[in-house]
Chains A and B, each alone.
Chain A
Amino acid sequence: MLKVVHYINQFFGQIGGEDKADTPPLVKEGPVGPGLALQQALGDQGKVVATIICGDSYFNEHVDEALAEILRMVEQYQPDLFVAGPAFFAGRYGIACATVCKAVQEKFGIPVVTGMYPENPGVDLCKKDVYVIKTGDSAAQMKDAITKMVKLALKMVNKEEIGTPEEEGYIPRGIRKNYFAQERASKRAVDMLVKKLKGEPYSTELPMPEFDRVPPAPAVKDLSKALVALVTSGGIVPKGNPDHIESSSASKFGKYDLEGIVALSSETHQTAHGGYDPVYANENPNRVLPVDVMRELEKEGKIGKLHRYYYATVGNGTPVAKAQQYGQAIAKELKDAGVQAVILTST
């Protein structure tokens, strides 16, 4: 029989309301409160061996200590499954469930599951890593939530294939997976078009994400004193591509020295980019990374100085999440180096 540990807050742990929200973590043998419904849903497949209860305020105000203590308590019971909540629309409780679930999953490698209302701030904290069953906004939906949580958890324990969010009832984790559909895509498009024309319901195969639009930084006041850097997604690298930056879907960016270089040349640099005819960039790499022009501007005093290093990656087919990582890492280095302006070039 599976050993299950359940995490709940002070309210569901029957310790008290807001006045008891500063209760530090404590553990009770067996199920408590919603744990009874959990035990019932598990039936003879699992046993709630312990319930960890922690005050919401205490957790959020002492995250590190609370988490360390909770992990120590979990370890004591060596569970096969960890369940937190459901937290419904309780924000601090949701954050606690999310944080504890992630930590338990990471430390013990056991299946974890929680449940929340989609607008609970805990959702975004953990949905990429942890299955969060979508619940209503109040404890009135306790039974339904627990049933779905247990069904999904048992599938995870038994290493069964986990279905789509619609099938299992969890909040979409934002993971895209390929499969072969029944009909070819052109036919699916025509079918969708007819439904849309007739005003019948249809479901898009790719819901639009929130798009991260970055406002441009304010203009530099005095360029003649500014330290200016060059950054490119056009793949300009030293000859031979020493870091083996891929021609598409780059797994890294490179940082290269421009000290003593007046202009790039076909002898010294090339492009690693696979998304365009490389002949012209290879003939004269300044066409993509304008070191020659920057040196002239430097000489004329129009800019203060060209930064000693330039950064390069390949934009071709590189996922937005990776590009964001590279961008943040490069921006941090540039800021630390005192760079005030950056010229970004593509292809």
Chain B
Amino acid sequence: MKLELGNIFIKDVIFSNETKVVDGVLHVNKEAIIEALMQDPRLAKVDIDLAKPGEEVRIIPVKDVIEPRVKVSGPGGVFPGFISKVSTVGSGRTHVLKNTAVVTTGTIVGFQEGIIDMSGEGAKYTPFSKTLNIVIVCEPVEGLPKHEHEEVVRLAGLRAAALIGEAGRNVEPDEVKVYETLPLFESVKKYPGLPRVGYVYQLQSQGLLHDTYVYGVDAKKILPTFMYPTEPMDGAIVSGNCVSACDKNPTYVHQNNPVIEDLYERHGKDYNFVGVIITNENVTLADKERSSDYTAKLVEYLGLDAVIINEEGFGNPDTDLIMNCKKISEKGIKTVLITDEYAGRDGQSQSLADVDKTADAVVSVGNANEIVHLPPMKKVIGDPKAANVIAGGFEGALAPDGSITVELQAITASTSEVGFGTLAAKGY
């Protein structure tokens, strides 16, 4: 399967009467997008705002972040199972409005939503301080149950991203990146001397606002399965999460999964990157046993020599991470884990809820309990009071001057466990 990603580097974004790309500037027809989103009767009000790198702007509470893209050739369309019909993606050509992101906010859905600061201390920790953000502010009709509220905002974000991404259809990309993975036997034949490497990609599926979707299927209901690496790169995985903002994977992060990108980087040289195994993080022990058994079995069946495993979230999913690590290691297959830590504000607590001696190669993306002070911003999109209730916040987190003191936990993608950032932690 071969995917061409045509990156169109966007320099600026402005409101306009037509959604289009002109000389690297993205024009957004705000009214037309609002009208399209308002087709969902469960939305009472939608507004669109812009937030650019370096501006004194805060977005809170952030639900999801999505990269606008359009499928220009090959099977399927954007976000199969949601926006497009279900058909296999990951081949053909997709155009990307690089440097832009659709960010959803509005009334808080669940406690675990995040903060994006476009400048100041907070901007260092979130990758989305560096993107030109088109912020969709969604207000649901009154009395909407939480899980429907989540769905409404999730769909609004995906729809907006699809509408905006359409602007890139007929634009000549500034660069085209090609990613290719061969069918298993062909791949092994092509690289006979190289060790075979895979990626065990844990998807948040604890339920009750902790959900991820694969081709529209709730990941709770899947058995671990095998994918071409280009499928998640092409929108097959969508976030439906209100998990702590720091370590949930927004849809943007699934689209740009850096483990997949970096595994491709040395593919064919140091190893043969064979593919991706997706698995879930369900809450019952039976589910955990079944999924980790199944994952280890797939890793063995595919004849892999080593895998990278990452979790999404913390606490409960730590057990999935460790069970996967243990069961795969016991088969004599090498593992490297990526996780964040919850070592307490003073950094003195035990970092994970579960550990095992086989977890001897771990990359840490930082202690999510560490405190950060976010200066007041000139403009806040959304509701700053969310700082007092979101995960990582606390009563009094929002000071009268508009500054916010929170745990890193509250900052969107700050401790991304697919390793999106450079943050790390070490022992003293």
Contacts and interface: CB of A to CB of B under 8 A. Distances in A.
B11 to A, nearest CB: 24
B409 A248 contact: yes
B28 interface: no
Name which of B244, B314, B356 has the most chain A CB atoms within 10 A of its CB.
B244
Contacts of B306: 193, 196-197
B105 interface: no
Contact of B422 (A180, A192, A316): A180
Contacts of B188: none
Interface string B253-272: 00000110111011000110
Contact of A274 (B336, B355, B389, B428): B389
B344 A319 contact: yes
A185 B370 contact: no
Name which of B263, B306, B342, B409 has the most chain A CB atoms within 10 A of its CB.
B342
A277 B310 CA distance: 24
Contacts of B364: 176, 185, 205-206
Contact of B424 (A175, A178, A208, A244): A178
Given A164-B428, A185-B419, A208-B360, A190 B334 contact: no
Contact of A249 (B263, B352, B369, B427): B369
B17 interface: no
A23 to B, nearest CB: 36
Nearest to B316: A275
A244 B395 contact: yes
B391 A317 contact: yes
A206 B308 contact: no
B6 to A, nearest CB: 23
Given A172-B427, A184-B422, A178 B370 contact: yes
A246 interface: yes
Given A186-B259, A192-B336, A247-B111, A205 B363 contact: yes
Interface in B120-136: 124
Interface in A303-330: 315-317, 319-322
A260 interface: no
B394 A251 contact: yes
A165 B427 contact: yes
Contact of A184 (B258, B339, B352, B389): B258
Contact of B210 (A181, A183, A188, A276): A276
Given A165-B428, A248-B391, A321-B350, A279 B147 contact: yes
A165 B426 CA distance: 10
B336 to A, nearest CB: 5
B336 A196 contact: yes
B347 A189 contact: no
Contacts of B261: 186
Contacts of B147: 277, 279
B392 A249 contact: yes
A176 B409 CA distance: 15
Contacts of A165: 427-428
A224 B416 CA distance: 50
B420 A178 contact: no
Contact of A247 (B209, B361, B362, B389): B389
A315 to B, nearest CB: 7
Contact of A177 (B336, B353, B428): B428
Given A185-B419, A248-B392, A206 B146 contact: no
A246 B406 CA distance: 12
B388 to A, nearest CB: 9
Contacts of B369: 249, 317, 319
Interface in B357-381: 357, 359-370
Nearest to B421: A184
B145 interface: yes
A317 B391 CA distance: 8
A174 interface: yes
Contacts of B390: 247, 274
A275 B112 contact: yes
A218 interface: no
B418 interface: yes
Contacts of A211: 350, 354-355
A206 B351 contact: yes
Nearest to B350: A320
A170 to B, nearest CB: 9
A183 B347 CA distance: 22
A197 B304 CA distance: 11
A121 B40 CA distance: 66
A206 B362 contact: yes
A211 to B, nearest CB: 5
A176 B427 contact: yes
B392 A194 contact: no
Interface in A265-310: 274-280
Contacts of A316: 315, 391
A256 interface: no
Given A204-B361, A206-B425, A193 B351 contact: no
B334 A178 contact: no
Nearest to B356: A208
B427 A174 contact: yes
Given A184-B422, A185-B421, A249-B407, A190 B344 contact: no
23 contacts: A176-B348, A185-B364, A186-B261, A189-B310, A189-B338, A190-B259, A190-B262, A196-B336, A197-B195, A204-B361, A205-B425, A206-B364, A206-B425, A208-B360, A211-B354, A244-B395, A249-B342, A251-B394, A274-B389, A277-B147, A320-B342, A320-B350, A321-B350
Interface of A: 128, 162, 164-165, 172-190, 192-194, 196-197, 202, 204-209, 211, 244, 246-249, 251, 274-280, 315-317, 319-322
Nearest first, the 7 A-B pairs at minimum CB distance are A185-B419, A274-B111, A186-B419, A319-B349, A277-B208, A319-B344, A321-B349
